[in-house]
Amino acid sequence: MKRIIKCIIFIIIFLIIIAILSKIFIPKNNTLEAGIGKRKQPASGILTEPENTIDVLVLGDSESYNSYIPLELWNQYGFTSYVCGTPAQRISNSYEYLKSAFNTQKPKIVILEANNLYTKNGVVRRIKEYIDKKIPAFEYHDRWKSLSKEDFYKSSEYTEIVNDKGYRYSNKVRIVKKSKRENFMQVNENAKNIPGYNKKILKEIKDYCDKNGAKLILYSSPAPANWSYDKHNGIEKCAKDSRIEYIDLNLKVDELQINWKEDSQEKRGEHLNYTGALKVTNYLGNYLKEHNELPDHRQDEKYNSWNEAYNNFQKEIEESKKASV
Amino acid sequence: MEKLIEILEEIEDGVDYENCTTLIDDHYLDSLAIISLVAELEDEFDIVIPTVEIIPDNFNSAKAMWEMITRLQEEG
Amino acid sequence: MTYFSVIYLLIFLPVVALIYNILPQKHRWKLLLLASFTFFFSISKGLIVYAIGSTFLIHYIGIWLENVQEERNRVLKEAEKENKKKIRADYLKKQRRILTFGVLANVGVLLVVKYTGFFGENINSLLETMKVSFRLHIPKILMPIGISFYTLQAVSYIVDVYHEKIKADKNLARLSLYLTFFPQIMEGPICRYSETAMQLWEGNKITYESLKSGLLRISYGMIKKMIIADRLNKFIGEIYTHYGKYDGGIMVVGMVLYTLQLYMDFSGTMDMVIGTSEIFGVKLPENFKQPFFSKNISEFWTRWHITLGAFFRDYIFYPLSLSEPLKKLTTNARKKIGKYYGPLIASAIALFCVWFCNGLWHGAAWTFIFFGMYHFVLILSGKIFEPAVLWLSTKLHINREKAWYKGLQIIKTTLLVFIGELFFRATSVKAGFEMLGKMFTNFTLNSFKDGTILKLGMDLPDFIIIAIFTVIVFIISIMHEKDISIRKEISKKNIVIRWTFYYLIIFAIIIFGAYGLNYEVVQPMYANF
**Nearest-CA distance from C499 to chain A in Å?**
8
Interface contact flag, C506 A14, Cβ < 8 Å: yes
The secondary structure element, H or E, covering residue A218 is: strand A215-220
- What is the average per-residue pLDDT within A118-134? 88
| Digit-coded pLDDT (tens) for C203-228 | 999 999 999 999 999 999 999 999 99
Residue B70: pLDDT over 70: yes
pLDDT-derived band at A184 (thresholds 50, 70, 90) equals: confident
CA of A35: which chain C residue's CA is closest? Answer: C518
Question: What are the residue ranges spanned by the domains of chain C?
Answer: 6-205, 206-288+445-520, 294-427
The residues in A 98-137 lying below 8 A from C, measured between CB atoms, are 124, 127-128, 137
> Tell me, what's the pLDDT at C28?
95
- The size of chain A, in residues, is 325
Q: Is it the case that residue C525 has pLDDT exceeding 80? A: no
- Give the mean pLDDT of C317-333: 88
- Is B34 in Cβ contact with C318 (below 8 Å)? yes
Using a CB-CB cut-off of 8 Å, the residues of chain B touching C165 are 52
Cis omega (within 30 of 0) for bond into C189: yes
Answer for the pair B30, C303: CB distance below 8 angstroms, yes or no: no
- A vs C, Cβ pairs < 8 A, gives 41
Is residue C529 pLDDT above 80, yes or no?
Answer: no
Structure confidence at residue C310 (pLDDT): 93
| pLDDT value of residue B52 | 83
Using CB atoms, pick whichever of C298, C327, C390 lies closest to residue B30.
C298
* Closest to A96 measured CA to CA, from A194, A208, A247: A208
Q: What would the mean pLDDT of C401-410 be, rounded to a whole number?
A: 90
Report the percent of chain C where pLDDT is more than 70: 99
Cβ–Cβ gap C517/A39 under 8 Å: yes
Q: CB distance from C396 to chain A under 8 Å?
A: no
Q: Which residues of A touch C518 (CB under 8 A)?
A: 37, 142
For A125, nearest residue in chain C (alpha carbons): C7
Q: Identify any residues that bridge with A59 across adjacent strands, giving them in sequence order.
A: A112
Q: Which residue has the higher pLDDT, B16 or A205?
A: A205
**What does the domain layout of chain A look like in residue ranges?**
2-324
**Pairwise CB contact (< 8 Å): A144 & C461:** yes
Helix and strand tally (H, E) in chain A?
Answer: 13, 5
Tell me the shortest Cα–Cα distance from A138 to chain C, in angstroms: 7
How far CA C360 is from CA of C110, C191, C315, C369, C424, in Å, comes to 11, 20, 16, 6, 11
Residue of B nearest to C324 (CA): B50
Average pLDDT over residues A256-263: 93
Average pLDDT score over chain C:
92
List, as one string, the DSSP characters of C380-391: HHHHHHHHHHHH
Instruction: Report yes or no: C131 and C125 within 8 Å, Cβ to Cβ.
Output: no
Candidate from C284-288, C396-400, C415-419 with smallest mean pLDDT: C396-400
Partner-chain contact C503 A3, CB within 8 Å: no
Report chain A residues whose CB lies below 8 A from the CB of C510: 18, 21, 137-138, 141
Cβ <8 Å between B54 and C340: no
Asked whether the beta carbons of C58 and C154 are under 8 A apart, the reply is: yes
What does the pLDDT average to over C279-288?
A: 96
Kindly give the residue spans of alpha helices, DSSP state H, lying in C365-428.
366-395, 403-425
Instruction: Report CB contact under 8 Å: B39, C342.
Output: yes
Q: Do C511 and A141 touch (CB under 8 A)?
A: yes
Mutating which of C316, C326, C330 best tests the B interface, going by the most B Cβ atoms within 10 A? C330
Q: What is the pLDDT of residue A108?
A: 95
The pLDDT-based confidence of A242 (bands split at 50, 70, 90) is very high
3-state secondary structure chain B: CHHHHHHHHHHCCCCCCCCCCCCCCCCCCCHHHHHHHHHHHHHHHCCCCCHHHCCHHHHCCHHHHHHHHHHHHHHC
Q: Residue A255: is its pLDDT beyond 70?
A: yes
C366-395 and C403-425 helices, crossing angle to 10°: 160
pLDDT exceeds cutoff 70 at C231: yes
Model pLDDT for residues A44-78, shown as the tens digit of each residue = 999 999 999 999 999 999 999 999 999 999 999 99
Tell me the nearest-neighbour CA distance from B27 into chain C, angstroms.
7
- The answer to whether A137 contacts C510, with C-beta atoms less than 8 Å apart, is yes
A21 touches C: beta carbon within 8 Å = yes
Q: Residue C527: which pLDDT band, with cuts at 50, 70 and 90?
A: low
Is the model's pLDDT at A266 over the cut of 70? yes
**Across the interface, do C330 and B39 touch by the CB < 8 Å criterion?**
yes
In terms of CA atoms, which chain C residue is nearest residue A3? C208
Whose CA is closest to C295, among C385, C381, C405? C405
Q: Return left, alpha or beta for C132; rule: phi > 0 is left, psi -120 to 50 is alpha, else beta.
A: beta
Q: Does A195 touch chain C (CB under 8 A)?
A: no
Residue of C nearest to A11 (CA): C503
Which residues of chain B are within 8 Å of residue C302 when distances are taken between CB atoms?
Answer: 27, 30
Note the pTM of the prediction, 2 decimals: 0.89
Asked if residue C61 lies in contact with residue C97, where contact means CB atoms within 8 angstroms, the answer is no
Chains C and A lie in contact, requiring 3 or more CB pairs less than 8 Å apart? yes
Mean pLDDT of chain A: 93
Length of chain B equals 76
pLDDT confidence bin for A82, thresholds 50/70/90: very high
Residues of chain C with Cβ-Cβ distance to B31 below 8 Å are 298, 313, 317-318, 347
Whether the per-residue pLDDT at C302 is higher than 80: the answer is: yes
Task: Say which range, A83-87, A126-130, B59-63, C162-166, has the weakest mean pLDDT.
Answer: A126-130
Do C280 and C319 touch, CB atoms closer than 8 A? no
At the topology level of CATH, where does A2-324 sit? Rossmann fold (3.40.50)
Q: Tell me what the mean pLDDT of segment C328-344 comes to.
A: 86
pLDDT value at position C520?
A: 79
**pLDDT value of residue C186:** 92
DSSP state of C225: I
Q: Are A93 and A39 contacting, i.e. CB atoms less than 8 angstroms apart?
A: no
- Average pLDDT rounded to a whole number, residues C523-528: 71
Residues of C in contact with A138 (CB under 8 A): 510, 516
Q: How many CB atoms lie within 10 A of CB C277?
A: 24
Counting as contact any 3 or more CB pairs under 8 A, the partners of C are A, B
Residues from C in contact with B at Cβ < 8 Å: 163-165, 298-299, 302, 313-314, 317-319, 321-322, 327, 330-331, 334, 339-340, 342-344, 346-347, 350-351, 379, 383, 390, 400-401
State whether residue B36 sits within 8 Å of chain C by CB: yes
Question: In which element (H, E) is residue C449 found?
Answer: helix C446-449
pLDDT value of residue B76: 62
C7 touching chain A per CB within 8 A: yes
Q: What is the pLDDT of residue C70?
A: 94
Is C30:C24 a contact under the CB 8 Å cutoff? no
CB contact under 8 A, C499 and A14: no
Q: What are phi and psi of C457, to 5 degrees?
A: 115, -5
**In terms of C-beta density within 10 A (0-12 exposed, 13-18 middle, 19 or more buried), how is residue C369 classed?**
buried
Which residue in the set A10, A142, A145 is minimally distant from C516, CB to CB? A142
pLDDT at residue C519 is higher than 80: yes
Mean pLDDT in residue range C162-189: 94
Closest residue on chain B to C350 (Cα): B32
Measured CA to CA, the distance from residue C400 to residue C404 in angstroms comes to 9
Within 8 A of C7 by CB-CB distance, chain A residues are 124
Interchain contact, C513 vs A141, CB within 8 Å = yes
Chain C residues with CB inside 8 Å of B53's CB?
Answer: none
- pLDDT-derived band of residue C6, with 50, 70 and 90 as boundaries? confident
Q: CB of C209 within 8 A of CB of C196?
A: no
Neighbours of chain A (3+ CB pairs under 8 A): C
Is the pLDDT at C335 greater than 90? The verdict is no
**Nearest residue on chain A to C463, alpha-carbon basis:** A145
Contact (CB<8Å) B39/C383 = no
ipTM score above 0.90: no
CA A86, A90, A93, A97 torsion-angle sign: positive
Q: What is the CA radius of gyration of chain B?
A: 11
Measure the CA–CA gap between A55 and A294, rounded to whole angstroms. Answer: 7
Give the pLDDT of residue C470: 97
Q: Which domains does chain B have, with CATH numbers?
A: 2-75 (1.10.1200.10)
Mean pLDDT, to the nearest integer, of C175-184? 95
Give the pLDDT band (50/70/90) at residue A136. Answer: very high
Give the mutation candidate from A145, A146, A147 for the C interface (greatest C CB count, under 10 A).
Answer: A145
- pLDDT tens column, C469-482: 999 999 999 999 99
Pick the residue of B28, B29, B31, B60 with the most C CBs within 10 A to test the interface with C by mutation: B31
Q: Distance, in angstroms, between B46 CA and closest chain C CA?
A: 12
DSSP C14-51: HHHHHHHHHS-GGGHHHHHHHHHHHHHHHHHGGGHHHH
CB contact under 8 A, C507 and A139: no
Q: For residue range C234-248, what is the model confidence (pLDDT) as tens digits?
A: 999 999 999 999 999
Question: What length does chain C have?
Answer: 529
